[in-house]
Amino acid sequence: MYDIERLSSKISYGSANARDLISLKNSVSQLPDLKNTLSSAQSELLSSLYKELDTLDDIFQLINISIVDDPPITIKEGGIIKKGYDDDVDRLLDVTENGKKYLLDIEAKEKEQTGIRTLRIGYNKVFGYYLEVSKSFVNMVPQDRFIRKQTLANGERYITEELKNLENEIVGAQERIVNLEYDIFSNIRNEIEKNVKRIQTSANIISKIDVLCSFANVAKSQNYCMPVVDNSNIIEIKEGRHPVIEKILDTGAFVQNDSYLDGESNRLNIITGPNMAGKSTYMRQVALITLMAQIGSFVPATEAHIGVVDKIFTRVGASDDLSMGESTFMVEMMEVASILNNATSKSLVILDEIGRGTSTYDGMSIAWAVAEYISKIKAKTLFATHYHELIKLEGTLEGTKNYHVAVKERGEDVIFLRKILEGGTDESYGVHVAKLAGVPKEVTSRANDILRGLERKSIIKDTNMTKSERQEEQGQLSMFNYKLAEIAHELDKVKLDEITPIDALNILSKIKEKMK
Examine residue 503 and state whether it is found in any structural domain, yes or no.
yes
Residue 489 is assigned to a structural domain of this protein: yes
Write out the residue range of the structural domain in which residue 280 sits.
223-437
Alpha helices in 418-479 (DSSP H): 430-436, 441-458, 467-474
Q: How many CB atoms lie within 10 A of CB 270?
A: 26
Tell me the per-residue pLDDT of 313-324, one tens digit each, with 9 for 90 and over.
998 865 544 444
The total number of structural domains in the chain stands at 2
Residue where one domain finishes, among candidates 392, 409, 437:
437
- Predicted pLDDT at 410: 67
Alpha-carbon distance 287 to 311, whole Å?
Answer: 10
Q: Is residue 315 part of a domain?
A: yes
pLDDT tens, 20-77? 999 999 999 999 999 999 999 888 999 999 999 999 999 999 999 999 999 988 888 8
Dihedral pair phi/psi, residue 210, rounded to 5°: -60, -45
The pLDDT of residue 417: 80
The order of strands in the sheet holding 128-134 is 120-124, 128-134, 155-159, 147-151
Q: 428 and 502 in one domain? A: no
Summarize the confidence of residues 82-93 as an average pLDDT.
Answer: 90
Q: pLDDT digits over 457-495, tens only?
A: 554 444 344 545 444 544 444 445 556 666 766 777 777
Whether the CB-CB separation of 331 and 319 falls below 8 Å is answered with yes
- Domain annotation covers residue 159: no
Residues 445 and 430 in one domain: no
Q: Let me know whether 432 and 462 are in one domain.
A: no
pLDDT, tens digit, for every residue of 350-397?
Answer: 998 887 767 677 888 888 899 999 999 999 999 998 888 888 899 889
Q: Based on the fold, state whether residues 419 and 298 are members of the same structural domain.
A: yes
Q: Confidence class of residue 433 from pLDDT cuts 50, 70 and 90?
A: low
Q: Is residue 431 part of a domain?
A: yes
Residue 311 maps to a domain: yes
Does 342 have pLDDT greater than 50? yes
What is the mean predicted confidence (pLDDT) over 82-110? Answer: 87
Mean of all residue pLDDT scores within the chain? 84
Of 401, 417, 437, which marks where a domain is finished? Answer: 437
Task: For residue 251, tell me if it sits in a domain.
Answer: yes
Question: Do 433 and 313 share a domain, yes or no?
Answer: yes
Q: What is the pLDDT of residues 254-289, one digit of tens each?
A: 999 999 999 888 999 999 887 777 888 999 999 999
Percent helix / strand / coil, the chain, rounded to 5? 50, 15, 30
Whole-angstrom Cα distance, residue 290 to residue 293?
Answer: 5
Torsion sign, CA atoms 406, 409, 413, 417: negative
Query: How much is the pLDDT for 351?
Result: 93
**pLDDT at 199 (0 to 100):** 92
Residue 69 pLDDT: 93
Residue 324: per-residue pLDDT: 47
Q: Residue 267 gets which letter from DSSP?
A: S
The model's pLDDT over 227-263, given as tens digits with 9 standing for 90+, comes to 999 999 999 999 999 999 999 988 888 999 999 999 8
CATH number at residue 333: 3.40.50.300
* Residue 405: strand, helix, or coil: strand
Residue 428 pLDDT > 80 = no
396 and 469 assigned to the same domain: no
**Listing from the earlier edge strand, what are the strands of the sheet with 380-384?**
312-315, 348-352, 380-384, 268-272, 400-410, 413-422
